[in-house]
Amino acid sequence: MMPLRHILPLLLQVLDISAACAANTTSTLFRNGTIVAFNRETESLEVIRNGAVLVTGDRIASIFPNLPTRSELPSGTEEVDITDKILTTGFIDTHRHGWQTAFKTLGSNTSLIEYFPRYIGFAAQGHVSAEDVYIGQLAGLYEALNAGVTTSVDHAHHTWSHEAAVAGLQASIDSNARVFWCYTIQDRENFSIDEQLADLRAVAATASFRGTPTSMGIAYDSFGPNPNLTVVEAIVGLIREFNLSVLTTHSVQGPYGFDNSPEDLDSLNILNLPIPIIISHASFLTAAGATLLRSANQYISITPESEMHYGHGHPTAHLILDQAALGVDTHFTFSTDILTQARLWLQSARRTRYELVLDLWQTPINNPMSVNQAFLLATRHGGLALRRDDLGVLCEGAKADLVIWDGTSPGMLGWVDPVAAVILHANIGDVQGVMVDGRWRKRDGKIVDKRYETEVKQRFLESARRIQRDLINTPLPVLNGGITQRVDTLRGEGDGYAETLLEV
């Protein structure tokens, strides 16, 4: 018998495996940087200075405390010097509506009640074609990638027709970002729930996303009060049949009455489905709801800027941070990045906890939340919410979704603690490089995909200008609810509120 070492090369030659592997597997070594790694044993961040990270294919192959020798590296490894830079895992946005990019700046001073009749899927659909959905979703995902957001959970409520649904999914795939694209089942004009369920099935069966970082999930916002059991059953059936990647729902309880609470899901017996469930906002979460989330190990998505902007935050969110991740929500209205969300949330959770002591007329002596906790909420917790142990962590075996920060920018210069430098001093202009699945998506400060500059921007602007003109000329209906008192920023008469700045 021939020894194996003689047969193997022949076999590889015959099958052309070695050639195929070499062509497809790229290796990159990041060296001499500061690495914000994740230690699985202690469940905490571990800073490695002057270390190196080897990426092979779509994974982090090794983390070296010192510079490895050439012989430790696969042949053809590209070396990237990251001296004075910080290497972190990418951010995870657990709640987004990517298709809405065209509305940018239109919602700068809306409340949630003003938002609904204008910007939500069934309100806007008359103004937005499938092509508009495609280009808005694509532009929105480049925006996210540019900001170091490598993963997003997209509550895709643009699924008002087969064409619009497929357009948003295709844009997610084409962006090369990691998108958990969630087909949204909801009451719509001219596209019944039954038609949507059939369409979801058709889209899932096509599996056009297979082999890409995009996967398909499902979104539904009518689990309670008064759920339609037939629809819920059909949704659960589709989840099981297609092993959809996540189920997500908006929960805004209290005066909003848009419950979809953990209690509602539990009474339908679906909190323990085999897939992760993400409850967005979870405003007015109860203690009982929190207990249910913990027992089923399901997560909420706190979207700090959205909740502050629209007025649907909740006073107890700081009590469920062990079962919470962060999200952006309507990126057309405010920051697109999870870094800003982490910073806002860190400071608002601190404020909440400080006030409990201040209310007792005592001076707080310790700081209630750390930058490391904020960083982990923005990264690791997103992975946990998705039950993906390989996302949101920089450690061996994890997905190579990475961000390189310029540690020498004016804002960051002088840092000692890289986590504090990122969470409290960086901005998205400091994001120099982004990888998803071990492939460059932003490099040297620029989106890598050539189509972005040559085609996507122009197509997007044409689409956005038309939609913006349409929306600005569509009057809002009369709304019911409580009136908030405006702040006054002007001495004397008048409050300084911008009445109309809109001209397209």
Ligand X SMILES: *[C@@H]1O[C@H](CO)[C@@H](O)[C@H](O)[C@H]1NC(C)=O
Q: Is 93 in the site for Zn ion (CB under 5 A)?
A: no
Minimum CB distance to Zn ion smaller for 116 or for 354 = 116
Residue 258: CB minimum distance to ligand X, A: 18
Per-residue contact flags (x/-) with Zn ion for residues 315 to 354, judged by CB under 5 A: --------------x-------------------------
189 binds, among ligand X, Zn ion, none (CB under 5 to 8 A by kind): ligand X
Taking the least distance from each CB to ligand X, the nearer of 215 and 251 is 215
Task: Report the partner that residue 198 touches, choosing among ligand X, Zn ion, none (CB closer than 5 to 8 A by kind).
Answer: none
Longest CA–CA separation in the chain, Å: 98
Q: From CA 140, how far away is CA 177, in angstroms rounded?
A: 11
How many residues bind Zn ion (CB under 5 A)? The answer is 1
Which of 28, 34, 77, 125 binds ligand X (CB under 6 A)? It is 125
Count of CB atoms situated within 10 Å of the CB of 130: 18
Tell me how far apart the terminal alpha carbons of the chain are, to the nearest angstrom: 79
CB of 366 or CB of 484, closer to ligand X: 484
Least distance (Å) from ligand X to the CB of residue 440?
A: 17
Could you say which residues in the range 208-267 bind ligand X, by CB under 6 A? Answer: 228, 230-231, 243, 245
User: For residue 78, which phi and psi values (nearest 5 degrees)?
Assistant: -85, 130
Among 83, 206, 267, 272, binds ligand X (CB under 6 A): 83
- Over the window 320 to 359, marking each residue x when it contacts ligand X by CB under 6 A and - when it does not, the resulting string is ----------------------------------------
User: Does 18 sit near ligand X (CB under 6 A)?
Assistant: no
Q: Which of 234, 134, 140 is nearest to 185 (CA)?
A: 234
Q: Is 481 in the site for ligand X (CB under 6 A)?
A: no
CA 174, distance to chain mean position in Å, is: 17
By the rule CB under 6 A, 189 interacts with ligand X: yes
Helices (H), 110-227: 112-119, 121-124, 130-146, 162-175, 193-206
Sort 302 into a burial class: Cβ within 10 Å, 0-12 / 13-18 / 19+.
Answer: buried
Contact 382, 94 (CB under 8 A): yes
User: How many Å apart are CA 374 and CA 272, to the nearest integer?
Assistant: 27
- φ and ψ at residue 95, rounded to 5 degrees: -160, 115
Residue 429: phi and psi, rounded to 5, are: -65, -20
Nearer to ligand X (CB atom), residue 85 or residue 312: 85
Contacts with ligand X, residue ranges (CB under 6 A)? 20, 23-24, 32, 50, 66-67, 83, 108-109, 125-126, 189-190, 193-194, 228, 230-231, 243, 245, 498-502
